[in-house]
Chains A and B, each alone.
Chain A
Amino acid sequence: MTDTKGTGPVLEAEGVHLSFGSTPALRGADLTVERGEILAVMGPSGSGKSTLLHCLAGILVPDAGEIRFDGRRIDGLGESERSALRRDRFGFVFQFGQLVPELTAEENVALPLLLGGMRRAAAVQRARSWFGRLGLDGLEQRRSGELSGGQAQRVALARGLVAEPEILFTDEPTGALDSLTGEQVMALLVSAAREQGTTVLLVTHDARVAAYADREVVVRDGRVNSYSSPRVGS
């Protein structure tokens, strides 16, 4: 919990446009993400899901429109401010874990803490506490080449959550896994995020993965279609 947390939506996109050269990827995308919700972003290939995620996370800057985090515009911030935001407040998990191959699994998990300025011993200790929780006991010293895809993805999940980010951005986190392993990763992701109160943006084209979320939106042709159903349960 940080004192800057407001009560409104945690993340908003309004009228976001972005083109790559002459290719329009986003054409007036609107989205509101509530605090603590797990939101699935679905839609056909090439519809603009990843681009939208990158704009919301301050990785890409829209050509037009606004991105607000905690009610504050972030699309006008400079690269160093956005990078600090990503490091301090956001976590990321992508399709292929993207672990640093030279580091051990526990060093990979500790990385966001080290980058945030935590001392090495403390960071590694905190990183270690995730291994048992995610069924990774005994794999702390392995390098990414010595892990199965499912293990590497759980290490990536631990790395995404270790700094207790306010928002976890994930793009096809189970895309490279078989269905049973993918389901295990999703179940772990959802329970860890709920425990920490982390908001999750989950880009996926897989309906069974999206079913772990509280609700879904569909991106089509660079716009967000939010006919979606209301939140069920939770």
Chain B
Amino acid sequence: MSVPLTLLGLLEREPSHGYDLKRDYDTLFGRGKPLPFGQVYATLGRLARDGKVVVGEAEPGDGPDRKRYVITDAGATEFETWLGEPVAAEPHLQTVLFTKVVLALMLGRDAERYLDTQRAAHLARMRELTEVKRTGSLVDALLADHGLFHLESDLRWIDLTAARLDALRTEVTTR
């Protein structure tokens, strides 16, 4: 998750205080890992230095957070460009799984057992996410679904690989 661009996106909605940005970020994107205040202000500082946001006048009153941040044209353009780009299609976990399976086969380890364990771990995580979906808000469900579809595609790969283990073993060990 790109914090600067996400904050720009939240500012594209409306000028906001650092505190509001942190709160919205945590709610929508934090996934249980709140953004430290220090990081919020450091990021906003860099965005201001680079001309992506401007800092409004301090508003009267006490408290640390009386400044409102406003996105600039340059900031809005950068955000739009980023938003329109597809994310790198990176089959990340699958690469690790793949490496482990090939190594297990090569070294004569129990690759099926490994796949079974991985399968159980994936399903356990899918159960947790399904529970979030059943009991949480619609935004929670949206996030949970994203995770569920990714885990599901890994699982399909695991099943297909498990079904072809004998052939794979032959290929990997005779090269």
Measuring CB to CB, which residues of chain A are less than 8 angstroms from any residue of chain B? 44, 187, 190-191, 207-208, 210-214, 216, 218, 225, 227-229, 232-233
Contact = CB atoms under 8 A, between A and B. Distances in A.
Q: Lowest 3 CB-CB distances: which A-B pairs, in order? A: A211-B126, A229-B120, A211-B130
B116 A211 contact: no
A232 B128 contact: yes
30 contacts: A44-B159, A44-B163, A191-B134, A207-B122, A207-B123, A207-B151, A207-B152, A207-B156, A208-B130, A208-B148, A208-B149, A210-B123, A211-B126, A211-B127, A211-B129, A212-B127, A213-B127, A218-B116, A218-B119, A225-B116, A227-B117, A228-B123, A229-B120, A229-B121, A229-B123, A229-B124, A232-B124, A233-B127, A233-B128, A233-B131
Interface string B114-146: 001101111110111111001000000000000
Q: Quick one: which of B124, B129, B155, B159 has the most chain A CB within 10 A?
A: B124
Contacts of B129: 211
B161 to A, nearest CB: 12
A227 B123 contact: no
Contacts of B124: 229, 232
> What band does the interface of chain B fall in when counting residues whose beta carbon is under 8 Å from A?
20 to 34
Interface in B1-60: none
Interface of B: 113, 116-117, 119-124, 126-131, 134, 148-149, 151-152, 155-156, 159, 163
A209 to B, nearest CB: 10
**Interface residues of B: mostly helix, strand, loop or mixed?**
helix
A228 B122 CA distance: 11
Contacts of B148: 208, 211
Contacts of B163: 44
Q: Which one of B124, B127, B131 has the highest number of Cβ atoms from chain A below 10 Å of its Cβ?
A: B127
Given A187-B134, A233-B131, A228 B126 contact: no
Nearest to B131: A233
A194 to B, nearest CB: 10
A208 B155 CA distance: 10
A228 B134 contact: no
Given A44-B159, A44-B163, A211-B148, A228 B120 contact: yes
Contacts of B156: 207
A228 B128 CA distance: 15
A16 B127 CA distance: 29
Between A208, A210, A218, A228, the greatest number of chain B beta carbons within 10 A of the residue's beta carbon is seen for A208
Contacts of B151: 207
Nearest to A233: B131
A227 B127 CA distance: 17
B134 A227 contact: no
A190 B130 CA distance: 11
A213 B131 CA distance: 10
Contacts of B121: 229
Contacts of B122: 207
Given A207-B151, A232-B124, 4 more contacts: A44-B163, A207-B155, A229-B121, A233-B131
Nearest to A220: B162
Nearest to B160: A44
Nearest to B119: A218
Contacts of B116: 218, 225, 227
Nearest to A186: B130
A229 B123 CA distance: 8
A178 B123 CA distance: 21
Nearest to B128: A232
Nearest to B121: A229
A212 B130 contact: yes
A187 B132 CA distance: 12
B157 to A, nearest CB: 11
B134 A190 contact: yes
